[in-house]
Structure 1
Amino acid sequence: MVTFFLLALLFILLLVNPFPAMCQIGREGEWCLLHASIGISAMHMQLLHNNMVVMFGRTDFGPSNLSLPYGRYRYDSSDNVLKNDCTAHSLLYDTGTNTFRPLMVETDTWCSSGSVLPDGTLVQTGGYNDGDHVVRTLTPCNDESCDWVEFPGYLSERRWYATNQRLPDGRIIIIGGRRQFNYELYPRNSESSSSFWLEFLRETRDDDENNLYPFVHLLPDGNLFIFANTRAISLDYKQNRVVREFPSITVDDPRNYPSSGSSVLLPIDENEPIEAEVMECGGAPRGAFSKAKQGIFDAASRSCGRIKVMDENPSWAMVDMPMPRVMGDMILLPTGDVVIINGAGSGTAGWEIGQNPVT
């Protein structure tokens, strides 16, 4: 009887406050478990402008542990694992109420890419198998009316491991992908109805590829800084013209997938003369991906490079991190500092070929 009373009291408290007292949001220095399971694998996540978080993962790995509501199901004749699927592979999480609801994503988003439009709509492009030419959009809502809208065949080329960047006019540029040495724009207009060749992407592909998910930053002059493997250019996408080729980074370790390093455009002070500086950190030695698949795990790269891309004669300034790191994440803080977190100490990105977690 006492046990029943205590359980009932706990249930009432949870209804009043979905975050238990021992798990207050905002408390410094303490991790808090909000849900033991959300039912899906959050391969991709995006914070929306209404403080909702959309999460989604690949669809061709079998059912998830989150059911679709109202008898909905996904039929996919090209799925290699599950052609009839009543489970969700995406959800929308409400940070304010600590609740979530399933969303319907129909095509495979494995290693797709995305950007957010000025109106807050998330545009997700490409993926694998039946998803490689698809554009998906999700417009935020504060009720249960929004869900994924998919446009099959919209992309002119297969986009798997591509990079997206929002442009000053609100459009999105989609660059590269596996064996795709070109880029295209979303939404299309009469002048951009197809893809545009970019020889730089072909030149930077090596035996392990190492130019997938190229690093892209919008520069103050309106051009794009693109880094792939160990090289970088400035691209005038309006004229489809390489404006400048920068010197190769001086430590010859590839930095892009699968030798995945990380990249940031350092903060720009509008009150000072405009100076754009890019930093690349981590990666893996050349050939590390092929060796890791054979069970030989080379130490990751510990080097970071910085380059002032608007200098008359730009050059890389190199420094070493305290430890090697591949698959790390770099995030700019409001203070102007850069946090580097996560990753592995050896091997590369890929299926279980990264070793020695960096904690």
Structure 2
Amino acid sequence: MPSIGISAMHMQLLPNDRVVIYDRTDFGVSNISLPHGKCRPNSTDCSAHSVEYDVVSNSVRPLMVLSNVWCSSGSLMPDGRLVQTGGNGDGERVVRVYKSRDSCNWQETPNGLNEHRWYATNHILPDGRQIIIGGRSAFNYEFYPKTESAIGLPFLVQTNDPRVENNLYPFVFLYPDGNLFIFANNRAILFDYSKNIVLKTYPTMPGGQPSNYPSTGSTVLLPLRIKGETVDGFEVLVCGGAPEGAFDNAQKGVFDGALDT
């Protein structure tokens, strides 16, 4: 495989078996140039910070991304478009849309979000919208396409450790009944977003240690068991993380081991 020229901070497989890849735009030039001698507006940076990899032809096409996608979030829409939101600096309220075609580039909408979103989580909903949850100092959620305002979510305040903000990039899964499982820091809720109601609060994780960014563990929705026309059981597996205080320790050169939970 040829070098793609950028670091894959985020990557997304598209319905046509191509992969869109992007990295932050404020960390210097990349190792791949924009086509036709183009440069980012008001910048001497003529390198690409996003590419599309074509699996079949084993080729890479550089893409123009204007705003900073550093630790942004996104999800695929039902029609195959990648809707990608937020980021840092000039990207914190931007909505970017990418649909894979040979001549397409990112389409960006400044102020496409009600709130700044940095380290938020997006999830597709049954009606085709996306819900966008949390982010740094954003204790609320909103929808794409954009509605009138963001809606407060006290759970994100309750799970926020202001020293390290261990509730970033919350883990989110859609239940078969249309409600959302949301995990942040060391606990989870079942949430009815249509009524803004917490239906269930789950016990705190044994040991009480955090699993969300920056103590990032991993999570997966396990295969659903179907009985007749109903789902029998819904299980989410959360693995690892870092012990409380690990972030502060790392700033002092002391590096704690990851959790083995």
Q: Identify the TM-score tier after normalising by the shorter chain.
A: over 0.9
- Which residue does the alignment assign to 1:146? 104
Q: Post-superposition, which runs of at least 4 consecutive aligned residues in structure 1 deviate over 6 A?
A: none
Name the amino acid aligned to 1:224: L
Deviations 1:280-313 (A, max 9, x none): 100011111001111111221101xxxxxxxxxx
Among 171, 181, 188, the residue aligned to 1:225: 181
Aligned-partner Cα distance in 2 for 1:255–1:205:
12
Aligned-partner Cα distance in 2 for 1:74–1:297:
38
Question: Which has the higher relative contact order, 1 or 2, with Cα contacts under 8 A spaced 6 or more apart?
Answer: 2
Question: Do the aligned residues in 2 keep the contact of 1:220 with 1:274 (CA within 8 Å)?
Answer: no
Among 35, 47, 54, the residue aligned to 2:13: 47
> Which range is displaced more, 95-104 or 83-92?
83-92
Counterparts of residues 1-359 of structure 1 (less than 5 Å): 34-35=1-2, 37-76=3-42, 83-141=43-101, 144-188=102-146, 192-206=147-161, 207-271=163-227, 273-303=231-261
Aligned-partner Cα distance in 2 for 1:289–1:224:
29
Question: Do the aligned residues in 2 keep the contact of 1:252 with 1:285 (CA within 8 Å)?
Answer: no
Question: Do the aligned residues in 2 keep the contact of 1:259 with 1:285 (CA within 8 Å)?
Answer: yes
How far has the Cα of 1:251 moved from its partner? 2.0
**Which runs of 5 or more residues in structure 2 are unaligned?**
none
Question: Do the aligned residues in 2 keep the contact of 1:255 with 1:283 (CA within 8 Å)?
Answer: yes
Name the amino acid aligned to 1:204: T
Rg comparison, structure with higher value: 1
Aligned-partner Cα distance in 2 for 1:154–1:284:
34
Aligned-partner Cα distance in 1 for 2:47–2:151:
38
How far has the Cα of 1:94 moved from its partner? 0.5
How far has the Cα of 1:209 moved from its partner? 1.0
Aligned-partner Cα distance in 2 for 1:181–1:227:
14
How far has the Cα of 1:68 moved from its partner? 1.0
> What SS does the corresponding residue of 1:256 show, helix, strand or coil?
coil
> What SS does the corresponding residue of 2:37 show, helix, strand or coil?
coil
Tell me how many residue pairs correspond in the alignment.
258
> What SS does the corresponding residue of 1:70 show, helix, strand or coil?
helix
Aligned-partner Cα distance in 1 for 2:124–2:159:
23
How far has the Cα of 1:90 moved from its partner? 0.7
Name the amino acid aligned to 2:165: E
Aligned-partner Cα distance in 2 for 1:62–1:300:
30
Identity of aligned residues (%): 58
Aligned-partner Cα distance in 2 for 1:300–1:51:
34
How far has the Cα of 1:75 moved from its partner? 1.9
How far has the Cα of 1:240 moved from its partner? 1.1
How far has the Cα of 1:71 moved from its partner? 2.7
Name the amino acid aligned to 1:225: F
Name the amino acid aligned to 2:145: P
How far has the Cα of 1:84 moved from its partner? 2.6
**Which runs of 5 or more residues in structure 1 are unaligned?**
1-33, 77-82, 304-359
CA RMSD in angstroms comes to 1.1
How far has the Cα of 1:274 moved from its partner? 2.3
